[in-house]
A and B are shown apart, each in its own frame.
Chain A
Amino acid sequence: MDAVIESLPLYWNGFLRTLFLSAVSGVIALLLGTLLAAARVSPVAALRGFSMTYVEILRNTPLTIAFFFAAIVLPRLGVKFEQFEVAAIIALSAYTAAFIAEAVRSGVNSVPVGQAEAARSIGMKFSQELTLIILPQALRTVIPPLINILIALVKNSSVAGAFFVLELFGYGRQLANANGDQVMAVLLGVAFFYLLITVPLGILASTVERKVAIAR
Chain B
Amino acid sequence: MSSVLYDVPGPKARRVSLIGSVIGSLLIAGLLAWIISTLAQQGIFEGRRWAIFTRADVWSLIGNGIGATLSAAAVAAVIAFPLGLLLCLLRISDVPGIRIPTRIVLEFLRGMPVVLMMLFVLLVFGTNQFIAVVAGLVLYNAAVFAEIIRAGIQSLPKGQREAGLTVGLTSFQSRMIIELPQAVRRMMPSLVAQLVVLLKDTSLGYIVAYGELLRAVQVMADFLGTQYLFPIFFVAAAIYIAINLCVSRIAVWIERRGSKKAAGGVAKAEPAVEAAAAKP
Contacts and interface: CB of A to CB of B under 8 A. Distances in A.
A120 interface: yes
Contacts of B5: 41, 43, 108, 116, 126, 129-130, 134
Contacts of A120: 6-7
A198 B116 CA distance: 14
Interface string B239-272: 0110011001000000000000000000000001
Given A72-B230, A126-B5, A64 B206 contact: yes
Interface residues of B, number: 57
Tell me whether chain B's interface is mostly helix, strand or loop, or mixed.
Answer: helix
A77 B278 contact: no
A149 interface: yes
A63 B202 CA distance: 10
A44 B278 CA distance: 27
Interface string B89-126: 00000000000000000011011111110011001100
Nearest to B234: A73
A110 B116 CA distance: 36
A57 interface: yes
Given A57-B241, A103-B278, A195-B108, A162 B248 contact: no
Nearest to B278: A145
A65 B203 CA distance: 8
B1 A73 contact: no
A56 B123 contact: no
B261 to A, nearest CB: 22
Interface string A34-66: 000000111111110010000011011111110
A109 B21 CA distance: 24
A77 B39 contact: yes
A216 interface: yes
Interface string B41-76: 010100000000000000000000000000000000
Contacts of B241: 57, 60-61, 65
A108 B44 CA distance: 42
B229 A46 contact: no
B38 A77 contact: yes
Interface stretch (A5-13, A80-88, A184-192): A184-192
Contacts of A176: 119, 123
Nearest to A176: B123
Contacts of A130: 5
A162 B17 contact: no
Nearest to B199: A62
Contact of B110 (A43, A184, A202): A202
A178 B110 CA distance: 28
A156 B280 contact: yes
Of the listed residues A63, A68, A184, the one surrounded by the most CB atoms of chain B closer than 10 A to its CB is A68
B245 A60 contact: yes
A162 B256 CA distance: 39
Of the listed residues B1, B7, B35, B241, the one surrounded by the most CB atoms of chain A closer than 10 A to its CB is B1
Contact of B42 (A44, A76, A158, A172): A76
B167 interface: no
A68 B7 contact: no
Contacts of B245: 56, 60
Interface in B181-219: 196, 200-204, 206-207, 214
A132 interface: no
B1 A116 contact: yes
A120 B7 CA distance: 8
A15 interface: no
A168 to B, nearest CB: 9
Contacts of A158: 113, 115-116
A45 B280 contact: no
A80 to B, nearest CB: 13
Nearest to A203: B107
Interface of B: 1-2, 4-7, 9, 13, 17, 20-22, 24-25, 28, 35, 38-39, 42, 44, 107-108, 110-116, 119-120, 123-124, 196, 200-204, 206-207, 214, 229-230, 233, 236-237, 240-241, 244-245, 248, 272, 275, 278-280
19 contacts: A43-B13, A44-B21, A45-B17, A47-B21, A68-B237, A69-B237, A72-B233, A76-B42, A76-B230, A77-B35, A109-B2, A120-B7, A152-B279, A158-B115, A161-B115, A172-B119, A198-B111, A202-B107, A213-B272
Given A65-B203, A169-B113, A191-B120, 6 more contacts: A65-B240, A73-B230, A99-B280, A111-B1, A159-B115, A169-B115
